[in-house]
Structure 1
Amino acid sequence: MHYAMTPDGVKLSYQVSGDGPPLVLLQGQANDHRWWHSVRGDFDGAYRTITLDYRGTGDSDKPDEPYSTRGFAGDVVAVLDELGVERAHVYGTSMGGRVAQWVAADHGERVGALVLGCSSPGGAHGVERSNDVRRSLAQPDRAAAERALLELMYTPAWLATHPGPFHTTGDPGMPAHARRRHLAASGGHDAWDALPGITAPTLVVHGTDDVFNPAANAPLLAGRIPGAELELIEGARHAYFEEFREVASPLVLEFLSRA
């Protein structure tokens, strides 16, 4: 286990594996680095992959204070500084894509290539999930709510043959205050005005059947970031990178090889 200290005194856990140019992998809201367990090996052969547990998750500190996607981006830079990495590719999915937007916008000199998966620009321009989706996640029957989340992440056919455990549905060790802080951070994201200033070569990836973070956000991001490429994975839901890894991982690797 390795740790980095942020300028405001928060201890962050980070993990490194593989060999090659550095590639930062950023996971979704209220999740730790295990989000990447099932696909990390796809990238370790060509890259030195770097993950971190966001503040509030995993083995990182969990202060009860406001979090933001822009603040999480600063935490990513703190980890890069600890490792002595001047420049890295960044691949963020879900809220990790929101964090990655700020890494590229605020710290462009540190980013080689950028991949934004199942993400959104947020704010007034982002396309929000429907009220039906919100209600399915907020129902009082927790088992039913957890099943609803799984069905937003994966197709029924995949779930029928993959009983878990699942690493994309939240860090079970998070305290309640950290879950609330993560929800507020993701919900408060708005990088619309900053996106045109991103200079890193960018790939936007999304599943066509994603209603958790609606697929309509993908062309918004790609159209807002200069020169961005857009790839939609047919039939994929929110966890496209895991269920459709045989499509998604080669897609990302090919893009990074050109960057």
Structure 2
Amino acid sequence: MTTVHVRGTALGIESFGDEDAPLVLLAGGTTMLSWPDELCERLAAGGRRAVRYDLRDSGESTTADPEAPAYTLRDLAADAAALADALGGGPAHLAGIGVGGMVAQVAVLDRPGAFSALIVVGTRPVAPGPPDDDLPGHDPATMGRLSARPVPDWSDRGAVAEFAAAGAEILGDDPDAARALAGRVWDRTPGTTAAVQTANQLRTVFSRLDCAPRWRERLPGIAVPALVVHGRRDRFFPVGNGEAIAREIPGARLLVLEEAATALPRAAAREVAEAMLALG
């Protein structure tokens, strides 16, 4: 892992594969560890340079004030294009997961010359907040159970890991995988204050961003190959969101993972990597 400085900010990255291979840039959601190691390794084995990175205010990237971010969704999209340029190798494939999928959609729309394919995983085509009337929102019962839990002591690694495991069980994800991932995220988080920890563990910084203007209406203008991956059992961004993105991007392929929920499970790494590699 290292950092790359673009647009006045440091972005934490980790690279897999030959540095001269075609680039697949993986935007975190919000940390790079949202992308499983196994997936990155399979992309590298398939002849790609897979580079996963932390969004601002997470992981090894610049952390300023996650409770009042002085940047917008458009800035995060511009970061992706600048990072792809800094890493070299011509137009890159851009992938985003969760909130990183929103960044990826906007980046391909705003900087079409920087990217030659789009992959989005477990996301939706509108900014945080109430969805459009035709899009399914967060499952109310699930959100009620999540919000009813007492917050952990963010300075206690074990407590944070158990908090994540309990949340994963509510969401339908693997608690053991979530526990291990939360520990890794905690190890990379630059501080134990609630604001910094929740930005890394719960992606709360993203809900405070200025995400205007809307971009959903522009999706039919995407002219690069696109892959939309979504878990059938996702209760946070239900699968109808992924189906809408796939309908509205011309020629997009929809890959529904029947046994997946919110997180991208290790067991799906091969299938998802093969679909990504098939984009060319």
Equivalent residue, structure 1, for 2:150: 141
Residue 232 (structure 1) aligned with residue 231 (structure 2): no
Deviation at 1:211, TM superposition (A): 0.9
For structure 1, which segment, 75-84 or 194-203, has the greater mean C-alpha deviation from structure 2 after superposition? 75-84
- In 2, Cα distance between the equivalents of 1:130 and 1:34? 21
Deviation at 1:129, TM superposition (A): 0.4
Residues 205-241 of structure 1 deviation map (CA, whole Å, 9 limit, x = unaligned):
1111111211110111011111211121212112235
Deviation at 1:84, TM superposition (A): 2.8
Q: Which amino acid in the other structure matches residue 122 of structure 2?
A: C
Equivalent residue, structure 2, for 1:76: 80
Residue 95 (structure 1) aligned with residue 95 (structure 2): no
SS of structure 2 residue aligned to 1:240: coil
- In 2, Cα distance between the equivalents of 1:139 and 1:199? 43
Contact 2:166 2:175 in 1 (8 A): no
Contact 2:136 2:238 in 1 (8 A): yes
Q: 2:180 aligns with which of 149, 153, 165?
A: 165
TM-score, L = length of structure 1: 0.83
- TM alignment of 1:59-138, pairs within 5 A: 59-64=60-65, 65-123=69-127, 124-125=131-132, 126-138=135-147
Question: What are the ranges of 5 or more consecutive residues in structure 1 without an aligned counterpart?
Answer: none
For structure 1, which segment, 99-108 or 244-253, has the greater mean C-alpha deviation from structure 2 after superposition? 244-253
Question: What are the ranges of 5 or more consecutive residues in structure 2 without an aligned counterpart?
Answer: 153-161
The number of residue pairs the alignment matches comes to 251
Q: Which amino acid in the other structure matches residue 228 of structure 1?
A: A
| 1:166–1:243 CA distance, 2 compared to 1 (3 A) | farther
TM-score, L = length of structure 2: 0.77
| 1:118–1:6 CA distance, 2 compared to 1 (3 A) | same
Equivalent residue, structure 2, for 1:5: 5
- In 2, Cα distance between the equivalents of 1:181 and 1:80? 23
Deviation at 1:184, TM superposition (A): 2.5
| 1:100–1:189 CA distance, 2 compared to 1 (3 A) | farther
| 1:85–1:189 CA distance, 2 compared to 1 (3 A) | farther
SS of structure 2 residue aligned to 1:133: helix
Deviation at 1:136, TM superposition (A): 2.0
Deviation at 1:141, TM superposition (A): 2.5
Equivalent residue, structure 1, for 2:25: 24
